[in-house]
Structure 1
Amino acid sequence: MTTEPERTDRASSRRGASLLFGLGGLLLALAGCGGGATEAGQGDYWQGYVEGDNVFAASSQGGSLVRIAVEKGQAVKSGELLFELDPEPQALQVEQARERVAQAEARLADLERGVRPSELAAIEARLAGAKSALGRARADLERRRELFESSGPDVVSKEEIDRFAAEVEVDAFNVASLEAELETARLGGRSGAVEAARREVATLRIAQREAQWALDQKRVTAPTAALVQDTLFDVGEVVPAGRPVVSLLPPGGVLVRFFVPQSALPTLAAGDSVQVRVDGLEGEFQARIRFITTEAEFTPPVIYSRESRSKLVFMVEATPEPDALARLHPGQPLEVRPGAR
């Protein structure tokens, strides 16, 4: 059996639920009326935020971080040193490559130069001795022929003349051989050997440049003038190859990113001008659309809009005018209105 107090409590609960339901309906109706606030032509703005297109400085080589030359918030110029990694083992590889090139160049020079001057002098001396021996042999042969003709075979036999003639031939062959050896020595190495040595030197020089390039990668400089946003490693830590160590924000890296519904998309095109307002900054500034995404997406959580929370939108990026860049900071919320094309 239900008592009177219980019936009173239930009646109060029903009246409370009816009141909440009525308030909920009123809020939904108000939300429906404000749903067009983000669409140009029906409301006054699209929502967005300032985005920073950072440049991440990294080395193609890994190693221990020995120096960070910049701090957060520091302005750097193009070519200014950002950080250094331990130069080893690349420094050793450069030295080894340099020694290999020097050895190959010495071998090439030796082939192109031919034999040493002292070796040439020795060949020339041997040639002179061979020519002298040839001269004596010819003179001896000539005298024996004259004796054979004047005195006959009783003084000089035919066999003796033949023997001296054979000695002349041997000495003449020695002279010809030494003359050819001397000419070859003066010419230097064979063309094939010289060409192979030249190719070896060229290959080793390429390896030396590659080793020097790898060593140079241990010192990383700013690719452009920028503001240091963050340093991602501490001195002493080992940095893997390709991992960013310093994050930079170049002046042209600040952009306006906002989101428009599908109904407003046909009214926008790359190159169009829009008006931008940022909380805390007086007045508006212009930005020029540089990119409109081709795919729809859900409104990102950073855009706190109850009306457009569940709608599909298209992302648009615009480049602010130069005078406004210094006043903008990534993450700032902003409002965008259509401007003149």
Structure 2
Amino acid sequence: MSGFLGSILDGLAAIALAIGLPIAAGGAPPLAHGYIEGEYLRIAAPSAGMLESLSAVRGAQVAAGAPLFAIDRATARAERDRLAAALAQARAQRADLATGKRAQEVAVLTAQKARAEAALRYSTAELARQQELVARKVSSPDKLDQARAAFDRDRGQLAEAEAQLAVAALPARPEQLRAADEAVTQAEAALAQAERRLADLAPVAPVAALVEDTMYNPGEWVPSGSPVVSLLPPERVKLVLFVPETAMAGVTPGGTLSVHCDGCPSGLSARVTRIASRAEYTPPVIYSVGSREKLVFRVEARMETGPDRPLNPGLPVDVWPIDAGPAGPGQ
């Protein structure tokens, strides 16, 4: 009789394997069924333009910082160069305001001061002579008044020349310097914005990833914001599981699950990262035996130990509690 029952169990096991149902050691069914899902990075350009070049190759791996594609940047380069020139002009004007007059201009003012000094010496001597002549009653008071007026005039011209020479060594007024500083800051911000826009037209891979797909070919027009390259980083591959409500007691955030999939090596495990707060009906894509109409909870998990390369999105998986261990075909 025992041999007969053993034959029946062996037959059921063979049927289960034939239709693809995993069997755990001791007959423990999987805790849940699910599939691999990828969170793709879709890289786009901020503005429309012709696709100038495409460095990413579909199905290849790219390193972080590797160029992906470039939108036509002729206009952006011209704008960047214009703003760079505007910044250089603003800085030059600020430097010019911070210094005095040129040496040649200072030389002119120095010569004017020397001429004023010479004129003052003559008028001083003439005033003294007229005062002596008037005292001796040899000259008229009118000539003394004229000499005194010439002396006052030459003394004022010398003071003016000295003041102009002192001003020539001064920088611009504080208000003018502040306005020049603001102009430099504004030009720097505009140039930084242009540099950023130029870089955005030729994006690089933010992380090491698989080039899952490319949507355009060089020479095609790319609308603004339209993804050109789709990347799948290995750390963004996750498990999406649908756990029956009767088994939710064995699933906790941070808990570890044993993972099995067709053709995968043994010893795979994943850690639970998210548990849905609401129940739902089993999606049609999950063909679980006897539980299609039961309520399940969506659970997400990240692979902790896995094969050399990420599992392909869409691959069906089964999970067991880590202490039970998967016992799918070949285990």
Match of 1:294, SS state, is strand
Is 2:282 the partner of 1:299?
A: yes
Q: Secondary structure at the match of 1:280?
A: coil
* Correspondence for 1:227: 210
The one-letter code matched in structure 1 to 2:258 is: Q
Shift in Å, 1:282 = 4.7
Partner residue, 1:164: 147
Check conservation: 2:264, 2:307, Cα contact below 8 A. Answer: no
Contact 1:273–1:340 (8 Å) recurs in 2: no
| Equivalent residue, structure 2, for 1:268 | 251
Hey, which of these two has a bigger chunk of helix by percent? 1
Q: Are 1:188 and 2:186 matched, yes or no?
A: no
Deviation at 1:240, TM superposition (A): 2.8
Aligned residues: 299
C-alpha distance in 1, partners of 2:219/2:176?
50
Residue in structure 1 matched with residue 125 of structure 2 by the alignment = 139
Q: Which amino acid aligns with 1:122?
A: V
2:86 matched to 1:100? yes
1:230/1:247 contact within 8 Å kept = yes
Take 1:216 and 1:299, find their aligned partners in 2: how far apart are those partners? 45
Q: Which amino acid aligns with 2:263?
A: G
Q: TM-score if structure 2 supplies the norm length?
A: 0.84
After superposition, where does 1:197-216 map in structure 2 within 5 Å? 197-216=180-199
Query: CA separation in 2, counterparts of 1:133 and 1:118?
Result: 23
- State the AA in 2 paired with 1:91: R
Aligned Cα root-mean-square deviation (Å): 2.1
Output the TM-score relative to the length of structure 1: 0.82
Report deviation, 1:47.
Answer: 1.0
Q: State how far apart, in whole Å, the 2-side matches of 1:72 and 1:175 are.
A: 83
Runs of at least 5 residues in structure 2 that lack an aligned partner in the other structure: 1-21, 325-331
**How far apart are residue 42 of structure 1 and its match?**
8.3
What does 1:313-332 align with in structure 2 at a 5 Å threshold?
313-324=296-307, 326=309, 328-332=311-315
| 1:244-259 equivalences in 2 (<5 Å) | 244-259=227-242
Q: Give the Å deviation of 1:148.
A: 2.2
Give the equivalent residue in structure 1 for 2:3. none
User: Which protein shows a greater Rg?
Assistant: 1
Distance 1:313 1:272 in 2: 18
**Percent of paired sites with the same residue:** 37
Once residues 100 and 195 of structure 1 are traced to their aligned partners in structure 2, the CA distance between those partners, rounded to angstroms, is 18
The whole-number CA distance in structure 2 between the counterparts of 1:80 and 1:44 is 42
TM-aligned CA deviation for residue 340 of structure 1:
4.0
- Larger deviation, residues 70-79 vs 301-310: 301-310
Tell me the SS of whatever aligns to 1:219: coil
Asked if 1:51 is matched to 2:51, the reply is no
Q: Is the 8 A contact 1:101 1:205 kept in 2?
A: yes
Give the Cα–Cα distance (whole angstroms) in 2 for the partners of residues 127 and 157 of structure 1: 32
- Any residues of structure 2 matched to 1:108-119 within 5 Å, and which? 108-119=94-105
CA distance in 2, matches of 1:140, 1:80: 87
- 2:48 aligns with 62
* Match for residue 73 of structure 1 among 25, 36, 59: 59
Superposed displacement of residue 305, structure 1 = 3.2
Q: Displacement, 1:109?
A: 2.1
Are residues 283 and 126 of structure 1, via their aligned partners in 2, closer, same or farther at CA, if it must alter by over 3 Å? closer
In structure 1, C-alpha distance between the alignment counterparts of 2:307 and 2:94, rounded to whole Å? 63
Amino acid at match of 1:318: A
Q: How big is the shift at 1:276?
A: 1.2
2:216 counterpart letter in structure 1 = F
Q: Residues of 2 paired with 1:141 and 1:66: CA distance?
A: 86
Structure 1 residue aligned with 2:221:
238
Q: Take 1:201 and 1:178, find their aligned partners in 2: how far apart are those partners? A: 34
* Distance (whole Å) between structure 2 residues aligned to residue 282 and residue 81 of structure 1: 34
